Amino acid sequence: MYDPKAILHSHISGLYKMVESIPENLDSCIEKLQKVQGRIICTGVGKSSFILQKISSNFASIGIACQFLDAIHSVHGELGGLRERDIILAGSYAGQSVELVPIFTFAKTKNIFSMLMTAFPLNRLGKMASTILRLPEVKEVGPLGCVPSTSSLVMLALGDLLVSALEQNITLERYQTHHPHGALGFKLSPVIHTMVSGSDLPLVSIDTPFTEVLMVMSEKRLGCTGVIDKEGKLQGVISDGDVRRFCMRFRDVTSYSALEIMQKAPKTLPPHAIVNDALTLMEVHKITFVFIIDHEQKPLGVIHIHDSWKNIQ
Asked whether the domain spanning 191-312 has the same topology as the one spanning 4-170, the reply is no
Where do the domains of the chain lie?
Answer: 4-170, 191-312
Phi-psi category of residue 108: left, alpha or beta, with phi > 0 → left and psi -120 to 50 → alpha? alpha
- Give the confidence band of 16 by pLDDT, cuts at 50, 70, 90: very high
Q: Does domain 4-170 have CATH number 3.40.50.2000?
A: no
- Give the confidence band of 312 by pLDDT, cuts at 50, 70, 90: very low
pLDDT at residue 148, rounded to an integer? 87
| pLDDT beyond 90 at 76 | no
Question: For the stretch 65-94, what's the b/e string if a residue is b when 16 or more beta carbons lie within 10 angstroms of its beta carbon?
Answer: ebbbbebeebeeeebeebeeebbbbbbbbe
Instruction: State what percent of residues in the chain have pLDDT above 70.
Output: 91
Judge residue 133's burial from the number of C-beta atoms within 10 Å of its C-beta, 0-12 exposed, 13-18 middle, 19 or more buried.
Answer: buried
Instruction: State what percent of residues in the chain have pLDDT above 90.
Output: 61
DSSP letter for 200, please: G
Is the pTM higher than 0.85? no
Alpha-helical (H) ranges within the chain are 4-20, 26-34, 47-61, 71-74, 101-109, 124-128, 150-167, 172-178, 182-187, 210-220, 240-249, 258-261, 275-285, 305-312
* pLDDT tens per residue, range 161-208: 999 999 877 665 665 565 555 555 657 778 888 889 999 999 999 999
Q: Would you tell me how many other CB atoms lie within 10 Å of the CB of residue 288?
A: 16
- Give the confidence band of 251 by pLDDT, cuts at 50, 70, 90: confident
| pLDDT beyond 60 at 298 | yes
Multiple choice CATH, 191-312, 3.10.580.10, 3.20.20.60, 3.40.50.10090, 3.30.390.10: 3.10.580.10
User: Coil, strand or helix: which one is 233?
Assistant: coil
**Average pLDDT taken over every residue of the chain:** 88
* pLDDT tens per residue, range 255-283: 889 999 899 989 999 998 888 888 899 88
